[in-house]
Chains A and B, each alone.
Chain A
């Protein structure tokens, strides 16, 4: 546990060692706010809820989460520090978990900073705060899924740019898994059960079920399982690179 804590602290501090953290948080808040107020028409809808805010999260995360996670491993490979880290008395899974937790905590800060919107909604009316809490948790879990996938892809390359593009591409497939864009390619040859599985893995579909306040638990379990699976793949990727 102590080892994971040390890795976590180092990685978390690394975000704030450069202006990256401030820039990222500013962009996140500007985009999240802009989408809510101008695109989703927060005031025009005349409803005291936050669905116009959460609606955009899959798309925001698609771009912003790879930006957080791309450095996790690629930077270590480029700088050679991976050799230092991997020859300290630490297991690969501890590094994987510590790094992911740091990125996830950073995403958590970004979410916490949107609290003024929640306060505004509560001042304007009587929203269902249970649904809002579930949506926040769901959004954070979805962010964690994007981060785990991106971290895994970052482990495969030295290049942060490649890590970003690869992560965004894989993320896009997950976001769109419930739509024809992805399903049409499968429909012609895959059996219906495969289609159902792919559809059930859609980030938009799962996240919507959480923000709608129905069937939160299975969707949350989906995101948690996906995080675990991606982290396991991350460990495997590192072990395979070691033997190569």
Chain B
């Protein structure tokens, strides 16, 4: 059974269509990355699923419960981290988490044992009795995550959980998400693409409220421009000479100069099915007394795919 499902969600703010017929479903064990440029409708979609906003039309379900017709039951299955991880700044971390646990109908005993576990997992022990307003951004984000996890929900919706965190904190947050992913359905919005490769089993790309892609990160990357091309770096003053040399090789379609900085030129050798190997490239250039500094198979980057896909709609 799909734990999260949206059917033809539409949300209009006046003349603006923020969410335009979005339908997808997420099963247990899946981590879905919700990708899109700023203002694409990611947050709005999440707000509708969580029940904070009403859709103009369409439906959203959490664990099979309509998040608008049957909001209370739906929300018992939902852990939600709104954008910016809001929390009551005048409360201490412990009072705030107690409050949220109580609102989920947890008994004192149950919430205490659950909190003890979460404190370990999210590493909040050091700030337990501190007021939330005095916490750093990283700790605030962790409080937000703890708040979303407190009732051990089936569904987690996290709106930019790593936004504003430093690299170490990002790494911790991703490990945390991975560690709880197996028995939950998780939707994570982000505009950081490496994050999708790091934690998501599926990526949904939206722009201008429309869904443009829904597949695994590796499938998406298969469509990337430059996938399978060879990248070469050479110290040279005349890059055009190297372009000419390499373009003559069998199987090479064309050669592109990607940069020329501090005397080092970088090239992308695009080719068809039969591509020259790295060894061949080194040999060809060595014959003309050219030293190769690096040669490697270019790996497609998700941000290229992302740019390509979202540009299409921006132009349309």
A2 to B108 Cα, complex, angstroms: 13
Partner of A91, one of B72, B86, B102: B72
Q: How far is the CB of A94 from chain B (nearest CB, A)?
A: 10
Partner of A87, one of B54, B80, B105: B80
Q: Is the CB of A89 within 8 A of B105?
A: yes
With an 8 A cutoff between CB atoms, is B178 at the interface?
Answer: no
Collect the chain A residues with CB atoms within 8 Å of residue B99's CB. Answer: 6, 10
Main secondary structure of the interface of A (DSSP, over half): helix
Task: Return the chain B residue nearest A11 by Cβ.
Answer: B88
Q: Is the CB of A84 within 8 A of B147?
A: yes
Residue-wise interface mask of B (274-308) relative to A, using a CB-CB cutoff of 8 A (1 in contact, 0 not)? 00000000000000000000000000000000000
Contact A83 to B100, CB < 8 A, known contacts A14-B90, A89-B76: no
Contact A79 to B78, CB < 8 A, known contacts A89-B72, A89-B104: no
Contact A10 to B82, CB < 8 A, known contacts A83-B52, A89-B105: no
Q: Which of B66-111 contact A (CB under 8 A)?
A: 71-73, 75-76, 78, 80, 82-84, 86-91, 95, 99-100, 102-105
With an 8 A cutoff between CB atoms, is B260 at the interface?
Answer: no
With an 8 A cutoff between CB atoms, is A120 at the interface?
Answer: no
Collect the chain A residues with CB atoms within 8 Å of residue B72's CB. Answer: 89-91
Task: Return the chain A residue nearest B78 by Cβ.
Answer: A87
Q: Is the CB of B100 within 8 A of A10?
A: no
Interchain pairs with CB closer than 8 A, number: 68
Contact A242 to B52, CB < 8 A, known contacts A10-B99, A90-B103: yes
A48 to B79 Cα, complex, angstroms: 60
Q: Is the CB of A83 within 8 A of B87?
A: no
With an 8 A cutoff between CB atoms, is B271 at the interface?
Answer: no
Number of residues on chain B facing chain A (CB within 8 A): 31
With an 8 A cutoff between CB atoms, is B45 at the interface?
Answer: no
Q: How far is the CB of A244 from chain B (nearest CB, A)?
A: 8
With an 8 A cutoff between CB atoms, is B2 at the interface?
Answer: no
Q: Is the CB of A87 within 8 A of B89?
A: no
Q: How far is the CB of A183 from chain B (nearest CB, A)?
A: 39
Q: Is the CB of B91 within 8 A of A10?
A: yes
Task: Return the chain B residue nearest A16 by Cβ.
Answer: B90
Collect the chain A residues with CB atoms within 8 Å of residue B71's CB. Answer: 89
Q: Is the CB of A18 within 8 A of B86?
A: no
Collect the chain B residues with CB atoms within 8 Å of residue A244's CB. Answer: 13
A231 to B84 Cα, complex, angstroms: 30
With an 8 A cutoff between CB atoms, is A218 at the interface?
Answer: no
Collect the chain A residues with CB atoms within 8 Å of residue B95's CB. Answer: 13
With an 8 A cutoff between CB atoms, is A30 at the interface?
Answer: no
Q: Is the CB of B86 within 8 A of A87?
A: no
Contact A86 to B52, CB < 8 A, known contacts A17-B90, A80-B84, A81-B88: yes
Q: Which of B90, B91, B95 has the most CB of A within 10 A?
A: B90
Q: Which of B26-85 contact A (CB under 8 A)?
A: 47, 50-54, 71-73, 75-76, 78, 80, 82-84
Q: Which of A72-131 contact B (CB under 8 A)?
A: 79-81, 83-84, 86-91
Task: Return the chain A residue nearest B84 by Cβ.
Answer: A80
A87 to B103 Cα, complex, angstroms: 11
Q: Is the CB of B47 within 8 A of A83?
A: yes
A17 to B90 Cα, complex, angstroms: 6
Q: Which of A18, A84, A242 has the most CB of B within 10 A?
A: A84
Residue-wise interface mask of A (50-83) relative to B, using a CB-CB cutoff of 8 A (1 in contact, 0 not)? 0000000000000000000000000000011101
Collect the chain A residues with CB atoms within 8 Å of residue B50's CB. Answer: 83, 87
Task: Return the chain A residue nearest B99 by Cβ.
Answer: A10
Q: How far is the CB of B187 from chain A (nearest CB, A)?
A: 14
Q: Is the CB of A83 within 8 A of B90?
A: no
Q: How far is the CB of A147 from chain B (nearest CB, A)?
A: 20
Residue-wise interface mask of A (216-244) relative to B, using a CB-CB cutoff of 8 A (1 in contact, 0 not)? 00000000000000000000000000111
Collect the chain A residues with CB atoms within 8 Å of residue B52's CB. Answer: 83, 86-87, 242
A90 to B88 Cα, complex, angstroms: 17
With an 8 A cutoff between CB atoms, is A3 at the interface?
Answer: yes
Which residues does B use to contact A, with CB under 8 Å? 13, 47, 50-54, 71-73, 75-76, 78, 80, 82-84, 86-91, 95, 99-100, 102-105, 147
Task: Give me 8 other A-B pairs in contact (C-beta within 8 A), A89-B76, A243-B54 excluded.
Answer: A13-B95, A80-B86, A86-B52, A87-B50, A87-B75, A89-B104, A243-B53, A244-B13
18 contacting pairs across A/B (C-beta < 8 A): A18-B90, A79-B89, A80-B82, A80-B83, A81-B88, A83-B50, A84-B86, A87-B51, A87-B52, A87-B80, A88-B75, A88-B100, A88-B103, A89-B75, A90-B72, A90-B103, A243-B53, A243-B54
Across the A-B interface, the 3 shortest Cβ-Cβ residue pairs? A80-B86, A17-B90, A83-B82
